[in-house]
Amino acid sequence: MSAQYDDKCLFCGITKGVIPGFKVYETDHSLAFLDINPVSDGHTLVIPKSHAKTLGDLSDDYLRDIGPVIKKVALMTGAEQYNILQNNGKLAFQQHVDHVHFHVVPKTSETDGLIISLENNWPQKQVSKEDLAAILEKMKSRV
C-alpha cells in the first residue's frame, strides 16, 4: 500500500507538509486538519495520506484506517451533534478539492454548521416494490 501523490493537489501538499495546515490528528495513513474556512468551530477535514479523487478510487487499506479517525475527530470537537459530509464530484454538493476528504462539521446551533436550506434538496420519490427490486438487481450485477 504505497502512497500516491499528485504534485498539483492542495491536500497532497498539506499531507507532505509543503503547504501548512492546522493538524488535528494523524495516523500513518490518515490526516485530520482544520478547514481553513470553517462553517462551525472545529470543522475538520479528514483525508487519506494518498491521492485519490473519489471514494471509489481509494484503496480499501486507506479506507479502513480513516473510519476510526473520523470518529476520533468527531469526539475531539466536543460537539454532541455533528454531520459527516463527503462529496464525490462537482454535481454531488460540489467537490472543490479533488482529493478524498471527509468533513467533520459540529452542529451547535440552528445557524452554524451544515445548513441544508435549498428547496427540494432531498427529492424523495414514491417507488414501487418492483422498481426497487429492479434497482437492486442492477446494483448486484455491478459487484
- Catalytic site positions: 101
Q: Using the minimum distance from each CB to ligand 5GP, give the nearer residue, 3 or 97.
A: 97
Indicate the DSSP class of residue 27. Answer: -
| Closest listed residue to residue 73, CA positions, set 49, 50, 98, 47 | 47
| Closest listed residue to residue 6, CA positions, set 66, 45, 52 | 52
Taking the complex as a whole, the smallest distance from the CB of residue 37 to ligand 5GP amounts, in Å, to 4
Which of 94, 111, 120, 141 binds ligand 5GP (CB under 6 A)? It is 94
* Cα–Cα distance for residue pair 127/112, rounded to 1 Å: 34
* Cα–Cα distance for residue pair 35/37, rounded to 1 Å: 5
Of 33-41, 54-62, 64-72, 74-82, the window that binds ligand 5GP (rule: CB under 6 A) is: 33-41
Q: Using the minimum distance from each CB to ligand 5GP, give the nearer residue, 21 or 106.
A: 21
Q: Using the minimum distance from each CB to ligand 5GP, give the nearer residue, 40 or 87.
A: 87
- Is residue 30 a contact point for ligand 5GP (CB under 6 A)? no
Taking the complex as a whole, the smallest distance from the CB of residue 88 to Zn ion amounts, in Å, to 14
Q: Which helix (H) or strand (E) holds 137?
A: helix 129-141
